[in-house]
Structure 1
Amino acid sequence: MPYEPPTHSVERSIRATTGARVVAGVDEVGRGAWAGPVTVCAAVTGLRRPPEGLTDSKLLSPKRRTELAARLEGWVTAHALGHATPQEIDELGMTAALRLAAVRALEALPARPDAVILDGKHDYLGAPWRVRTVIKGDQACVAVAAASVLAKVRRDALMAELGRDHEEFAFGTNAGYPSPAHRAALAERGPTVHHRVSWAYMDALPRWRHLKKVRTHGPEEAAECGGQLGFDF
Protein backbone atom coordinates (compact mmCIF):
# COMPACT_ATOMS: atom_id res chain seq x y z
CA MET A 1 0.00 0.00 0.00
CA PRO A 2 1.46 3.40 -0.94
CA TYR A 3 2.19 5.77 1.92
CA GLU A 4 3.26 9.37 2.25
CA PRO A 5 6.87 9.75 3.39
CA PRO A 6 7.46 11.49 6.73
CA THR A 7 8.38 15.18 6.73
CA HIS A 8 9.98 17.77 8.99
CA SER A 9 6.82 19.88 9.21
CA VAL A 10 6.17 19.25 12.92
CA GLU A 11 9.80 19.91 13.79
CA ARG A 12 9.78 23.11 11.75
CA SER A 13 6.63 24.23 13.57
CA ILE A 14 8.19 23.54 16.97
CA ARG A 15 11.35 25.40 16.03
CA ALA A 16 9.38 28.39 14.72
CA THR A 17 7.01 28.68 17.70
CA THR A 18 9.33 27.82 20.59
CA GLY A 19 12.82 28.66 19.39
CA ALA A 20 13.93 25.07 20.03
CA ARG A 21 17.19 24.14 18.33
CA VAL A 22 17.50 20.47 19.26
CA VAL A 23 14.29 18.50 18.65
CA ALA A 24 14.23 14.76 19.34
CA GLY A 25 11.77 12.24 17.94
CA VAL A 26 10.83 9.50 20.41
CA ASP A 27 9.16 6.15 19.79
CA GLU A 28 8.82 2.90 21.71
CA VAL A 29 8.61 -0.79 20.95
CA GLY A 30 7.70 -3.76 23.12
CA ARG A 31 4.74 -2.21 24.85
CA GLY A 32 2.35 -5.09 24.13
CA ALA A 33 4.86 -7.92 24.48
CA TRP A 34 4.63 -10.55 27.20
CA ALA A 35 8.39 -10.80 27.59
CA GLY A 36 11.43 -8.58 27.28
CA PRO A 37 11.95 -4.90 27.97
CA VAL A 38 10.07 -1.95 26.62
CA THR A 39 12.58 -0.05 24.48
CA VAL A 40 12.53 3.64 23.61
CA CYS A 41 14.68 5.40 21.04
CA ALA A 42 15.31 9.14 20.95
CA ALA A 43 16.60 10.39 17.59
CA VAL A 44 17.77 13.82 16.49
CA THR A 45 17.84 14.26 12.73
CA GLY A 46 18.04 17.99 12.00
CA LEU A 47 16.29 19.02 8.80
CA ARG A 48 18.20 16.95 6.27
CA ARG A 49 16.51 14.82 3.64
CA PRO A 50 15.91 11.36 5.13
CA PRO A 51 16.97 8.05 3.58
CA GLU A 52 14.58 6.78 0.94
CA GLY A 53 11.86 4.48 2.26
CA LEU A 54 11.88 5.77 5.83
CA THR A 55 8.54 5.22 7.57
CA ASP A 56 6.99 3.55 10.59
CA SER A 57 8.93 0.37 11.33
CA LYS A 58 5.72 -1.68 11.35
CA LEU A 59 5.25 -0.95 7.65
CA LEU A 60 8.65 -2.40 6.74
CA SER A 61 9.77 -5.98 6.25
CA PRO A 62 12.39 -7.26 8.74
CA LYS A 63 15.04 -7.22 5.99
CA ARG A 64 14.19 -3.66 4.95
CA ARG A 65 14.11 -2.48 8.58
CA THR A 66 17.56 -3.89 9.24
CA GLU A 67 19.01 -2.33 6.11
CA LEU A 68 17.41 1.02 6.91
CA ALA A 69 18.58 0.97 10.53
CA ALA A 70 22.18 0.49 9.38
CA ARG A 71 21.84 3.57 7.17
CA LEU A 72 20.11 5.59 9.88
CA GLU A 73 22.87 5.00 12.42
CA GLY A 74 25.25 6.97 10.23
CA TRP A 75 22.64 9.47 9.04
CA VAL A 76 21.02 10.75 12.24
CA THR A 77 22.66 13.61 14.09
CA ALA A 78 22.39 11.60 17.32
CA HIS A 79 20.35 8.79 18.79
CA ALA A 80 20.18 6.83 22.03
CA LEU A 81 18.18 3.91 23.39
CA GLY A 82 16.64 3.38 26.79
CA HIS A 83 15.10 0.22 28.23
CA ALA A 84 12.81 -0.63 31.14
CA THR A 85 13.13 -4.22 32.29
CA PRO A 86 10.26 -6.66 32.81
CA GLN A 87 10.82 -6.31 36.55
CA GLU A 88 10.52 -2.51 36.32
CA ILE A 89 7.35 -2.90 34.24
CA ASP A 90 5.91 -5.20 36.92
CA GLU A 91 6.85 -2.81 39.72
CA LEU A 92 5.93 0.50 38.10
CA GLY A 93 3.29 -0.27 35.48
CA MET A 94 3.66 0.39 31.78
CA THR A 95 3.14 4.15 31.76
CA ALA A 96 5.83 4.80 34.36
CA ALA A 97 8.12 2.22 32.75
CA LEU A 98 7.76 3.97 29.39
CA ARG A 99 8.72 7.26 31.00
CA LEU A 100 11.74 5.63 32.67
CA ALA A 101 12.95 4.17 29.37
CA ALA A 102 12.33 7.43 27.50
CA VAL A 103 14.19 9.52 30.06
CA ARG A 104 17.10 7.08 29.92
CA ALA A 105 17.22 7.49 26.14
CA LEU A 106 16.89 11.29 26.19
CA GLU A 107 19.50 11.72 28.90
CA ALA A 108 21.93 9.53 26.94
CA LEU A 109 21.90 11.94 23.98
CA PRO A 110 25.02 14.10 23.68
CA ALA A 111 22.89 17.28 23.99
CA ARG A 112 19.67 17.64 25.94
CA PRO A 113 16.76 18.24 23.54
CA ASP A 114 14.89 21.53 23.74
CA ALA A 115 11.71 19.75 22.64
CA VAL A 116 10.45 16.22 22.06
CA ILE A 117 8.06 14.84 19.44
CA LEU A 118 6.35 11.86 21.02
CA ASP A 119 4.53 9.25 18.96
CA GLY A 120 0.89 8.75 19.93
CA LYS A 121 -1.67 10.80 21.82
CA HIS A 122 -0.51 10.18 25.39
CA ASP A 123 2.28 12.26 26.92
CA TYR A 124 3.94 9.74 29.20
CA LEU A 125 6.98 12.01 29.64
CA GLY A 126 5.56 15.15 31.17
CA ALA A 127 7.48 17.94 32.90
CA PRO A 128 10.17 19.12 32.66
CA TRP A 129 10.25 17.93 29.05
CA ARG A 130 8.62 20.10 26.39
CA VAL A 131 6.53 17.55 24.50
CA ARG A 132 4.46 17.59 21.32
CA THR A 133 2.42 14.42 20.85
CA VAL A 134 1.62 13.37 17.29
CA ILE A 135 -0.78 10.54 16.44
CA LYS A 136 0.95 8.28 13.91
CA GLY A 137 4.06 10.36 14.39
CA ASP A 138 6.11 7.37 13.26
CA GLN A 139 4.58 7.85 9.80
CA ALA A 140 4.38 11.65 9.76
CA CYS A 141 7.63 12.87 11.36
CA VAL A 142 11.14 12.07 10.15
CA ALA A 143 12.74 11.96 13.60
CA VAL A 144 10.00 9.75 15.06
CA ALA A 145 10.13 7.39 12.08
CA ALA A 146 13.89 7.08 12.52
CA ALA A 147 13.44 6.37 16.23
CA SER A 148 10.79 3.77 15.37
CA VAL A 149 13.10 1.83 13.07
CA LEU A 150 16.14 2.03 15.34
CA ALA A 151 14.16 0.94 18.41
CA LYS A 152 12.48 -1.98 16.64
CA VAL A 153 15.68 -3.37 15.12
CA ARG A 154 17.61 -3.08 18.39
CA ARG A 155 14.91 -4.71 20.50
CA ASP A 156 14.37 -7.52 17.98
CA ALA A 157 18.10 -8.25 18.11
CA LEU A 158 18.04 -8.21 21.91
CA MET A 159 15.12 -10.64 22.00
CA ALA A 160 16.89 -12.94 19.55
CA GLU A 161 19.88 -12.98 21.92
CA LEU A 162 17.64 -13.84 24.87
CA GLY A 163 16.01 -16.54 22.77
CA ARG A 164 19.24 -18.50 22.46
CA ASP A 165 18.80 -19.61 26.07
CA HIS A 166 15.04 -20.13 25.71
CA GLU A 167 14.58 -21.62 22.26
CA GLU A 168 11.17 -23.09 23.04
CA PHE A 169 9.73 -19.58 23.46
CA ALA A 170 10.79 -18.56 19.92
CA PHE A 171 11.79 -15.05 20.99
CA GLY A 172 13.85 -14.79 17.81
CA THR A 173 10.69 -14.77 15.73
CA ASN A 174 7.99 -13.40 18.05
CA ALA A 175 10.18 -10.85 19.92
CA GLY A 176 8.32 -11.69 23.14
CA TYR A 177 4.87 -11.00 21.71
CA PRO A 178 2.01 -13.52 21.84
CA SER A 179 2.33 -16.39 19.35
CA PRO A 180 1.30 -20.07 19.31
CA ALA A 181 4.82 -21.21 20.20
CA HIS A 182 5.06 -18.62 22.98
CA ARG A 183 1.71 -19.63 24.47
CA ALA A 184 2.58 -23.34 24.32
CA ALA A 185 5.96 -22.80 26.00
CA LEU A 186 4.38 -20.73 28.76
CA ALA A 187 1.78 -23.44 29.43
CA GLU A 188 4.46 -26.14 29.55
CA ARG A 189 7.38 -24.40 31.22
CA GLY A 190 5.99 -21.28 32.88
CA PRO A 191 7.44 -17.78 32.68
CA THR A 192 11.15 -17.01 32.48
CA VAL A 193 12.93 -14.14 34.19
CA HIS A 194 12.26 -12.18 31.01
CA HIS A 195 8.46 -12.31 31.38
CA ARG A 196 6.19 -9.63 32.81
CA VAL A 197 4.56 -11.69 35.52
CA SER A 198 2.07 -9.08 36.71
CA TRP A 199 0.27 -9.22 33.36
CA ALA A 200 -3.12 -10.78 32.72
CA TYR A 201 -1.84 -13.59 30.47
CA MET A 202 -0.65 -15.27 33.69
CA ASP A 203 -4.29 -15.88 34.65
CA ALA A 204 -4.54 -18.42 31.81
CA LEU A 205 -1.65 -20.51 33.18
CA PRO A 206 -3.12 -22.70 35.96
CA ARG A 207 0.17 -24.49 36.67
CA TRP A 208 2.06 -21.23 37.03
CA ARG A 209 -0.54 -18.76 38.28
CA HIS A 210 0.99 -18.79 41.77
CA LEU A 211 4.02 -17.00 40.29
CA LYS A 212 1.96 -13.99 39.23
CA LYS A 213 3.08 -10.73 40.76
CA VAL A 214 0.05 -8.80 41.96
CA ARG A 215 0.16 -5.07 41.43
CA THR A 216 -2.54 -2.42 41.38
CA HIS A 217 -2.63 -0.55 38.08
CA GLY A 218 -3.71 3.08 38.19
CA PRO A 219 -6.88 4.18 36.36
CA GLU A 220 -4.92 6.29 33.87
CA GLU A 221 -2.86 3.29 32.76
CA ALA A 222 -5.89 1.01 32.58
CA ALA A 223 -7.69 3.52 30.37
CA GLU A 224 -4.64 3.96 28.14
CA CYS A 225 -4.38 0.22 27.59
CA GLY A 226 -8.07 -0.33 26.98
CA GLY A 227 -8.58 -1.91 30.39
CA GLN A 228 -6.83 -5.10 29.22
CA LEU A 229 -3.38 -4.85 30.66
CA GLY A 230 -1.28 -7.82 29.68
CA PHE A 231 -3.19 -8.79 26.57
CA ASP A 232 -2.11 -8.30 23.00
CA PHE A 233 -3.18 -4.71 22.35
Structure 2
Amino acid sequence: MTKLLLAGVDEAGRGPLAGPVSAAAVILDPDRVPVGLADSKVITAARREELYQEIMASALSVSVAFSSPALIDRLNIRGATLDAMRRAVRGLSLRPSSVEIDGKDVPHGLQLPARAIIDGDALVPAISAASIIAKVTRDRLMIKLATTYPLYGFERHMGYGTAEHTAAIDTHGPCPHHRLTFGRLKAYRA
Protein backbone atom coordinates (compact mmCIF):
# COMPACT_ATOMS: atom_id res chain seq x y z
CA MET A 1 0.00 0.00 0.00
CA THR A 2 1.35 3.43 -0.96
CA LYS A 3 1.81 5.85 1.92
CA LEU A 4 -0.11 9.11 1.50
CA LEU A 5 2.23 12.08 1.80
CA LEU A 6 0.83 15.41 2.96
CA ALA A 7 2.83 18.55 2.26
CA GLY A 8 2.20 21.50 4.54
CA VAL A 9 2.94 24.96 3.13
CA ASP A 10 3.33 28.36 4.80
CA GLU A 11 5.13 31.63 4.28
CA ALA A 12 7.06 34.19 6.30
CA GLY A 13 7.68 37.84 5.61
CA ARG A 14 4.57 39.18 3.91
CA GLY A 15 4.52 42.41 5.90
CA PRO A 16 8.11 43.71 6.08
CA LEU A 17 9.40 46.71 4.17
CA ALA A 18 12.55 44.83 3.16
CA GLY A 19 13.73 41.37 2.21
CA PRO A 20 12.07 38.53 0.35
CA VAL A 21 8.98 36.61 1.25
CA SER A 22 9.86 32.98 1.95
CA ALA A 23 7.68 29.92 1.55
CA ALA A 24 8.34 26.44 2.84
CA ALA A 25 6.82 23.08 1.99
CA VAL A 26 7.31 20.23 4.45
CA ILE A 27 6.38 16.56 4.32
CA LEU A 28 6.61 15.24 7.87
CA ASP A 29 7.37 11.63 8.69
CA PRO A 30 4.17 10.56 10.50
CA ASP A 31 6.29 8.40 12.80
CA ARG A 32 8.68 11.23 13.76
CA VAL A 33 6.62 14.40 14.20
CA PRO A 34 8.53 16.86 16.42
CA VAL A 35 6.80 17.69 19.70
CA GLY A 36 5.69 21.29 20.17
CA LEU A 37 4.97 22.29 16.58
CA ALA A 38 2.96 25.52 16.42
CA ASP A 39 2.57 28.69 14.41
CA SER A 40 6.07 30.22 14.27
CA LYS A 41 4.69 33.56 15.50
CA VAL A 42 3.68 32.14 18.90
CA ILE A 43 6.97 30.47 19.86
CA THR A 44 10.25 32.04 20.87
CA ALA A 45 13.15 32.48 18.46
CA ALA A 46 15.20 29.97 20.48
CA ARG A 47 12.43 27.37 20.33
CA ARG A 48 11.96 28.01 16.59
CA GLU A 49 15.66 27.24 16.09
CA GLU A 50 15.35 23.99 18.09
CA LEU A 51 12.28 22.92 16.13
CA TYR A 52 13.94 23.90 12.86
CA GLN A 53 16.77 21.46 13.62
CA GLU A 54 14.29 18.72 14.60
CA ILE A 55 12.19 19.23 11.47
CA MET A 56 15.22 19.20 9.19
CA ALA A 57 16.47 15.99 10.85
CA SER A 58 13.18 14.12 10.77
CA ALA A 59 11.05 15.36 7.84
CA LEU A 60 10.76 13.26 4.72
CA SER A 61 11.24 16.33 2.51
CA VAL A 62 11.67 20.08 2.98
CA SER A 63 11.81 22.80 0.35
CA VAL A 64 12.10 26.58 0.65
CA ALA A 65 11.60 29.20 -2.05
CA PHE A 66 11.89 32.97 -1.98
CA SER A 67 10.29 35.80 -3.91
CA SER A 68 12.57 38.81 -4.11
CA PRO A 69 11.57 42.39 -3.32
CA ALA A 70 11.69 43.10 -7.08
CA LEU A 71 9.22 40.28 -7.76
CA ILE A 72 7.02 41.48 -4.88
CA ASP A 73 7.02 44.97 -6.40
CA ARG A 74 6.21 43.57 -9.83
CA LEU A 75 3.47 41.06 -8.90
CA ASN A 76 2.26 42.38 -5.49
CA ILE A 77 2.79 40.55 -2.21
CA ARG A 78 -0.06 38.08 -2.72
CA GLY A 79 1.13 37.03 -6.17
CA ALA A 80 4.76 36.80 -5.08
CA THR A 81 3.81 34.73 -2.02
CA LEU A 82 1.75 32.29 -4.08
CA ASP A 83 4.60 32.03 -6.59
CA ALA A 84 7.08 31.16 -3.81
CA MET A 85 4.64 28.61 -2.40
CA ARG A 86 4.24 26.93 -5.79
CA ARG A 87 8.03 26.76 -6.24
CA ALA A 88 8.49 25.39 -2.70
CA VAL A 89 6.05 22.54 -3.43
CA ARG A 90 7.73 21.83 -6.77
CA GLY A 91 11.11 21.73 -5.01
CA LEU A 92 10.16 18.84 -2.72
CA SER A 93 12.22 15.70 -3.33
CA LEU A 94 9.08 13.57 -2.90
CA ARG A 95 5.79 14.13 -4.69
CA PRO A 96 3.08 14.66 -2.09
CA SER A 97 -0.37 13.07 -2.38
CA SER A 98 -1.94 16.36 -1.32
CA VAL A 99 -1.01 19.86 -0.20
CA GLU A 100 -2.45 21.90 2.66
CA ILE A 101 -1.65 25.61 2.70
CA ASP A 102 -1.99 28.15 5.47
CA GLY A 103 -4.37 30.95 4.53
CA LYS A 104 -7.18 31.32 2.05
CA ASP A 105 -5.43 30.92 -1.31
CA VAL A 106 -4.17 27.91 -3.23
CA PRO A 107 -1.38 28.67 -5.71
CA HIS A 108 -2.23 27.99 -9.35
CA GLY A 109 -0.35 25.28 -11.18
CA LEU A 110 0.32 22.86 -8.32
CA GLN A 111 -1.15 19.94 -10.28
CA LEU A 112 -1.92 18.23 -6.98
CA PRO A 113 -4.98 18.06 -4.76
CA ALA A 114 -4.68 21.12 -2.53
CA ARG A 115 -6.69 23.13 -0.05
CA ALA A 116 -6.20 26.32 1.89
CA ILE A 117 -6.83 26.30 5.63
CA ILE A 118 -7.26 29.53 7.55
CA ASP A 119 -5.08 29.32 10.69
CA GLY A 120 -3.64 26.10 9.31
CA ASP A 121 -0.31 26.88 10.96
CA ALA A 122 -2.04 26.36 14.31
CA LEU A 123 -4.10 23.34 13.22
CA VAL A 124 -2.02 21.13 10.90
CA PRO A 125 1.42 19.90 12.09
CA ALA A 126 2.91 19.92 8.57
CA ILE A 127 1.83 23.54 8.08
CA SER A 128 3.22 24.45 11.51
CA ALA A 129 6.51 22.86 10.47
CA ALA A 130 6.48 24.85 7.21
CA SER A 131 5.78 28.03 9.18
CA ILE A 132 8.86 27.42 11.33
CA ILE A 133 11.11 26.53 8.40
CA ALA A 134 10.00 29.60 6.41
CA LYS A 135 10.47 31.96 9.37
CA VAL A 136 13.87 30.65 10.51
CA THR A 137 15.21 30.56 6.95
CA ARG A 138 14.05 34.12 6.24
CA ASP A 139 15.36 35.44 9.58
CA ARG A 140 18.77 33.90 8.87
CA LEU A 141 18.80 35.59 5.47
CA MET A 142 17.91 38.97 6.99
CA ILE A 143 20.72 38.60 9.54
CA LYS A 144 23.11 37.88 6.67
CA LEU A 145 21.80 40.93 4.72
CA ALA A 146 22.53 43.05 7.81
CA THR A 147 26.25 42.42 7.35
CA THR A 148 26.09 43.95 3.86
CA TYR A 149 23.61 46.71 4.77
CA PRO A 150 24.40 47.51 8.43
CA LEU A 151 22.71 50.93 8.39
CA TYR A 152 19.20 49.44 8.52
CA GLY A 153 19.38 47.06 11.50
CA PHE A 154 17.86 44.12 9.64
CA GLU A 155 19.24 41.70 12.25
CA ARG A 156 17.02 43.32 14.89
CA HIS A 157 13.69 43.78 13.07
CA MET A 158 13.99 41.41 10.08
CA GLY A 159 12.88 44.17 7.71
CA TYR A 160 9.63 45.06 9.47
CA GLY A 161 8.61 48.72 9.67
CA THR A 162 9.88 49.53 13.15
CA ALA A 163 10.70 53.08 14.21
CA GLU A 164 14.40 52.24 13.90
CA HIS A 165 13.95 50.91 10.38
CA THR A 166 11.80 53.75 9.08
CA ALA A 167 14.23 56.30 10.56
CA ALA A 168 17.09 54.55 8.72
CA ILE A 169 15.13 54.70 5.45
CA ASP A 170 14.43 58.40 6.01
CA THR A 171 18.13 59.04 6.63
CA HIS A 172 19.74 56.76 4.05
CA GLY A 173 17.01 56.00 1.52
CA PRO A 174 16.23 52.43 0.50
CA CYS A 175 18.73 49.70 -0.32
CA PRO A 176 18.27 47.15 -3.15
CA HIS A 177 16.40 44.84 -0.75
CA HIS A 178 13.59 47.25 0.07
CA ARG A 179 10.10 46.78 -1.37
CA LEU A 180 9.39 49.97 -3.25
CA THR A 181 5.63 49.39 -3.38
CA PHE A 182 5.28 49.29 0.42
CA GLY A 183 4.26 52.30 2.54
CA ARG A 184 6.65 55.23 2.60
CA LEU A 185 8.98 53.46 0.15
CA LYS A 186 6.58 54.28 -2.70
CA ALA A 187 8.11 57.77 -2.72
CA TYR A 188 11.43 56.25 -3.90
CA ARG A 189 9.93 54.34 -6.81
CA ALA A 190 11.15 55.55 -10.20
Coarse TM-score class (shorter-chain normalised)? over 0.9
2:86–2:109: 8 Å Cα contact kept in structure 1? no
Give the TM-score normalised by the residue count of structure 1. 0.76
Q: In the alignment, is residue 121 of structure 1 matched against residue 98 of structure 2?
A: no
Report the identity percentage. Answer: 35
Q: In the alignment, is residue 37 of structure 1 matched against residue 12 of structure 2?
A: no
Q: In the alignment, is residue 66 of structure 1 matched against residue 49 of structure 2?
A: yes
Q: Please, which runs of 5 or more residues in structure 2 have no aligned partner?
A: none
Q: Within 2, Cα distance between the matches of 1:69 and 1:192? A: 29
Give the TM-score normalised by the residue count of structure 2. 0.92
| 3-state SS, counterpart of residue 67 of structure 1 | helix
| 3-state SS, counterpart of residue 26 of structure 2 | strand
Q: Within 1, Cα distance between the matches of 2:153 and 2:39? A: 24
Structure 1 residue 49, shift from structure 2 partner: 4.9
Q: Within 1, Cα distance between the matches of 2:15 and 2:107? A: 16
What is the CA deviation profile of residues 122-159 of structure 1, one whole-angstrom value per residue up to 9, with x for unaligned ones? 32446534211111111110100001111111100000
1:136–1:36 CA distance, 2 compared to 1 (3 A) = same
Q: Within 1, Cα distance between the matches of 2:52 and 2:19? A: 21
Q: Please, which runs of 5 or more residues in structure 1 have no aligned partner?
A: 1-18, 204-208, 214-233
> Which of 72, 89, 92 in structure 2 is aligned with 1:106?
89
Residue 139 of structure 1 is matched in structure 2 by: 122
Equivalent AA in structure 2 for residue 162 of structure 1: L
What is the CA deviation profile of residues 70-103 of structure 1, one whole-angstrom value per residue up to 9, with x for unaligned ones? 1110011110000000001111112221122112
| 3-state SS, counterpart of residue 109 of structure 1 | coil
Residue 198 of structure 1 is matched in structure 2 by: 181
Stretch moving more, 124-133 or 31-40: 124-133
1:149–1:134 CA distance, 2 compared to 1 (3 A) = same
Equivalent AA in structure 1 for residue 189 of structure 2: K
Structure 1 residue 20, shift from structure 2 partner: 8.2
Q: Within 1, Cα distance between the matches of 2:129 and 2:87? A: 18
Bigger RCO (CA 8 Å, 6+ sep): 2
> Which of 10, 21, 38 in structure 2 is aligned with 1:55?
38
| 3-state SS, counterpart of residue 64 of structure 2 | strand
What is the CA deviation profile of residues 15-66 of structure 1, one whole-angstrom value per residue up to 9, with x for unaligned ones? xxxx982220000001011100000000001423522221111111111111
Q: Within 2, Cα distance between the matches of 1:155 and 1:162? A: 10
Residue 162 of structure 1 is matched in structure 2 by: 145
